[in-house]
Amino acid sequence: MPRNWLSRNWLSHNWASRRPSRNPCRFSPSGSLPATAIIVPAYNEAENIQQCLTAAIESSPADCSVWLIDDQSTDETVAIAQLLQESLQDPRLHILEGQPRPQGERWVGKNWACVQAAEQISSEYLLFIDADVRLKPGAIETVVQVAEAEQADLLTLVAEIECGCWAEWIVQPLMVSTLLLAYDFAAVNDPESETAFGAGPFMLFRRSTYEQIGGHRAVADQVVEDVELSRRVKFSGLKLKYLQGNAVANVRMYRSWGALWEGWTKNFYLGAQRNFKGMVRFIVLMLLIYLTPWIGLGTAISQAVLDANILTVALFSLSLAGIGLHYRLRQILAQSGISSQYWWLSGAGGIAVAAIAIGSIIKTETGWGWTWRGRSLAR
């Protein structure tokens, strides 16, 4: 990262060049398109499943099927889906009750569920979405046309991020901005570059591609399976395409601090390829960038009450400049679908994200508390 990375001009330029292409989905449905199947792997998604399936059905053409694969849920996920199926009476909606994971094999996350569903489907395109994703009207025609036009073997989109609770507003904008700055998305879309990235909530595969790379079976033991699948696509000489998908789908990833903590700590360190030194630098930067200006502002104000001087004025000015940068960051991030609302929580966000990074290192390296929805990820 350049030394002058705090420069406003560099930041605006770098962000613009690194974020996924904007407004990729501007085709209008015309003519027949290859058949597509939407696959929704779900484990204890009672809170999300009805809205997810309803949106998927409503956004799909007549020849598109929607498949829920329940991954041994212990809540009302299946019951809610079955009630919806009875209510809709739509033959496109299918519900599969997943089998227990194979004994003696290591399967993590949604990989086993995805494999079971894919084996039941013969559609030319397979779209894997998470249960917290809400497809928008016309989404399927749009993304399939984009995939056909771009000749993409894997089309993965960053959906519009929604925030609800305070924890989300504190953490999610900083996490998204970190990803956008960390990955050179021009390189992701460059077939000559080895840089690869995949957004797990929305991955559209050509079936032939999915089978060629071994599908989710080939990444059975990978916690960050989306990135690994994208690497396999690229290293096989196939075409990976990453785009911004605000017009196609939105996602609310976590609805509480507990869910957010478990979700990000499970894969953040792995996503950084277990680069310990890089993560330490990241933690320090988060605190310096987001916390220090607020501490400086508080110090300057308290000092001014006692004895205002040139140093106090300088500290005050520098702190305001840093806080102004926080606001500018959120304005730029708004172009990727996250409102600048509550931007002034950035100091708390820096602390929270640093804590998540530390927690992710500890969980990944020790296995202590390394879970997803209560299921252990430790070997």
**Distance of alpha carbon 332 from alpha carbon 15, whole angstroms:** 8
pLDDT at 15 over 70: no
Q: Whole-structure pTM over 0.85, yes or no?
A: yes
Q: What confidence score (pLDDT) does residue 307 get?
A: 79
pLDDT band at 18 (very low <50, low <70, confident <90, very high): very low
pLDDT band at 31 (very low <50, low <70, confident <90, very high): low
Specify the range with the lowest mean pLDDT, choosing from 19-28, 297-306, 362-371: 19-28
Beta strands 249-251; 133-135: pairing state: antiparallel
Give me the mean pLDDT over the 332-346 stretch: 86
Cα distances from 144 to residues 35, 38, 68, 205, 236, in angstroms, run 9, 12, 20, 10, 22
Closest by CA to 65, choosing from 98, 31, 32, 95, is 95
Q: What confidence score (pLDDT) does residue 239 get?
A: 97
What CATH homologous superfamily does 11-161+184-256 map to?
Spore Coat Polysaccharide Biosynthesis Protein SpsA; Chain A (3.90.550.10)
Give me the mean pLDDT over the 111-134 stretch: 97
pLDDT tens, position by position, 86-98: 999 999 999 999 9
Q: What confidence score (pLDDT) does residue 23 get?
A: 46
pLDDT tens, position by position, 58-71: 999 999 999 999 99
Q: What is the DSSP letter of 245?
A: -
pLDDT band at 7 (very low <50, low <70, confident <90, very high): very low
pLDDT at 20 over 80: no
Tokens of 328: 């500018």
Closest by CA to 69, choosing from 105, 35, 93, is 93
pLDDT at 140 over 70: yes
Closest by CA to 191, choosing from 242, 239, 256, is 239
Q: What is the DSSP letter of 218?
A: G
- Residues near 290 by Cβ (< 8 Å), separated by ≥ 6? 174, 326, 346, 347, 349, 350, 351, 353
Q: What confidence score (pLDDT) does residue 26 get?
A: 45
pLDDT tens, position by position, 156-179: 998 999 999 999 999 999 998 888
Tokens of 288: 């310096």
pLDDT at 133 over 70: yes
Q: What are phi and psi of 316, to 5 degrees?
A: -60, -45
- Comma-separated ranges of CATH 3.90.550.10 domains in the chain: 11-161+184-256
pLDDT band at 283 (very low <50, low <70, confident <90, very high): very high
**Distance of alpha carbon 252 from alpha carbon 261, whole angstroms:** 14
Give me the mean pLDDT over the 31-38 stretch: 88
* pLDDT mean across residues, the chain: 89
Q: What confidence score (pLDDT) does residue 280 get?
A: 97
pLDDT tens, position by position, 70-84: 999 999 999 999 999
Tokens of 92: 């496109």
pLDDT at 377 over 50: yes
Tokens of 4: 């002058």
